[in-house]
Amino acid sequence: MIDYGIEESLLALEELVKINLSITREKNLNLLLDKILTAARKLTAAEAGCIYILDRTKRYLHPEVAQGEYLHNSVVPLQKIDLKPDRRPNMEEVAAYAALSGQIVNISDAYSYSGFNFDDIYHRDRLSGIRTRSLMVVPLTDYEGVSLGVMQLFNRRVSDAGDVEPFPDKLEGFVKAFAVQAVVVAENNRLLAENRNLIVQLDETNQVLQIENEELRSRMSGKLKVDEIIGQSAAMQQVFNLIEKIADSTATALIQGETGTGKELIAACIHRNGPHRDGPFIPQNCAALPEELLESELFGYRKGAFSGATQHKKGLIEAAEGGTLFLDEIGDMPLKLQAKLLRVLQEREVRPLGALESIPVNIRILAATHQDLPKLISEGGFREDLFYRLNVFPIELPALRERREDIPALAHYFIVQFSGQYNKAISGIKPQVLDLIQSLPLPGNIRELRNIIERAVLLAEQDGVIEPQHLPGYESTDIPVTPLEQELEGSASLKDIMGRLEARVIARHLQRHKGNQTRTADALGVSRRSLVEKLGRYNLRENSCELN
Ligand SMILES: Nc1ncnc2c1ncn2[C@@H]1O[C@H](COP(=O)(O)OP(=O)(O)OP(=O)(O)O)[C@@H](O)[C@H]1O
């Protein structure tokens, strides 16, 4: 044990450095707290001690470690301490007082001091037969005053045979400095542990999602291969059921859904699972080309069919032989081409521009649209007969907002995809980011979600996780607190805060106007009577001269 005479300060400092080194190496938070307490007891020659840690709500101090015969094995276990019983600061309980005020409390004899309620200590002493005399209560705060908890040290006894002594005042600064160091180490430790937990949690979530997905796929894919299509929602399950029913046939299907809901993906899935799977899958967007060009793209032409036709060109219908032609945005197909397409569907043959003969084709035709085709029919923009031909098997794809439960799995899927593409090792996404995404309107559906995740992966740390600031247009909802607000917010109510602010402003103006009430009232835009009333209320009268 160390006694702090002036000449022994150097020795004590050396001891402090040793202790600091040993606690810096400790990774387990509880063991670390235990080491901190051992060290503090050594520094102060305290017979016993304990550490309380503040919980996340900042409301309760929880006993974490206790040392010394009558605390450690006590028949009365240490209880958690409420910092604000009945919403009022608990200034009676010494540990609560130290935590709330940030002050060290140093008491030479608990039995002759009446400033705090020591009933618990007296009760424990009665049961243990040990008398608590001196105690030092140290708030565990870091350099910025952020509180971790409180350390209590009991009964300074410099030698085993000696009496209990008060803790010397000059020890306070020393213990406080030690506490700050210890808190920083503990806080870093806690953050590290939290980070590790978070990563483990993310890994677990990923694994769960992966397992769920695999299970789902194996259930679905008794026959159906739905790789690359994420969708555990009931709405998507229905879609998979439908696909399974038609996949075996060569039936035409009309896939309807908003932009970005995955129409092309579903079409490719039908193709992959159908009898034409070994043939080509050829997609063509009917809205992407003007009429003539679309016609020659789809139907092809013979040499000399028109002025620029210098050689034969096979159309996509012919090129899709033995496979699937996917006509996206079919609602935008011009009426003339609709008539020609109907013929292909009915006759199963195609006649290129300028050809005399038709060519038989064995293809599957799938079509998709985001438009309301019956409405288009009623407006004369779409052929009814073609609609019925295509609509043999309608598949309605739900918007992403109708199946938000799929968002986490989709997000993870895209994270993996883009992490690979951009050579990053992103390990997951924070739950609150998923919450944020799930609350977005997402009119662009899965394509929009995919873009959001691609951007987030690019912005995230090389081996980090996706955080809120990686989302587009993210603004922190934490409004920064000014130092003045911080200071004033110690007051209990808004009225109290406003009062203190008003008093400060008036005092400052009074000072500026050398106590002259009339000029101060003018400057503040209030009547002199009102100013006088406020001066009384805030006890500022002596700062002003009434006769001016
Ligand atoms: N269920 C899904 N699982 C994984 N990725 C999906 C899913 N649905 C769509 N995607 C992806 O979202 C993007 C948009 O999908 P797709 O092009 O199939 O939508 P679309 O409905 O055909 O869009 P548009 O109407 O604009 O043509 C693609 O990158 C696709 O791979």
Where exactly are the structural domains of the chain?
6-192, 233-396, 400-470, 483-543
Contact 437, 452 (CB under 8 A): yes
DSSP 3-state percent helix, strand, coil across the chain (nearest 5) = 50, 15, 35
DSSP 30-61: HHHHHHHHHHHHHHHTEEEEEEEEE-TTSSEE
Q: What's the pLDDT band for 200 if we cut at 50, 70, 90?
A: low
233-396 adopts what CATH topology? Rossmann fold (3.40.50)
Q: What's the pLDDT band for 245 if we cut at 50, 70, 90?
A: confident
Instruction: Determine the Cα angle at 249 with ends 243 and 250, to 5°.
Output: 105
Q: What's the pLDDT band for 1 if we cut at 50, 70, 90?
A: very low
CATH class of 400-470: mainly alpha
Strand-pair category, 147-156 with 46-54: antiparallel
Closest CA to 106 of 156, 48, 43, 172: 172
Give nearest CA residue, ligand 1 atom 24: 259
CATH class of 6-192: alpha beta
Count Cβ neighbours within 10 Å for each residue of 90-122 and write b for 16 or more, e otherwise: beebbbbbbbbeeebbbbbebeeeeebebeebe
Q: What's the pLDDT band for 317 if we cut at 50, 70, 90?
A: very high
Check if 229 has its Cβ closer than 6 Å to any atom of ligand 1.
yes
With tokens 């992959």, the residue in question is: 272
483-543 adopts what CATH topology? Arc Repressor Mutant, subunit A (1.10.10)
Give nearest CA residue, ligand 1 atom 25: 259
Residue 387 CA to ligand 1 centre (angstroms): 23
Q: Report residue 393: phi and psi, to 5°.
A: -130, 90
Instruction: Determine the Cα angle at 303 with ends 301 and 309, to 5°.
Output: 75
Which position has the higher pLDDT, 398 or 90?
398
Check if 261 has its Cβ closer than 6 Å to any atom of ligand 1.
yes
ipTM: 0.97
Q: Specify which residues 207 forms β-bridges with.
A: none
Give nearest CA residue, ligand 1 atom 10: 262
The answer for residues whose C-beta is within 8 angstroms of residue 165's C-beta and 6 or more apart is 134, 156, 157, 158
Count Cβ neighbours within 10 Å for each residue of 285-322 and write b for 16 or more, e otherwise: ebeeeeeeebbbbbbbbbeebeeebeeebebbbbbbbe
From 166-180, 319-333, 477-491, 524-538, the region with the lowest mean pLDDT: 477-491
Q: How far apart are CA 428 and CA 408, in angstroms?
A: 10
Tokens for 292, please give them: 């003539």
pLDDT at 2: 47
Check if 90 has its Cβ closer than 6 Å to any atom of ligand 1.
no
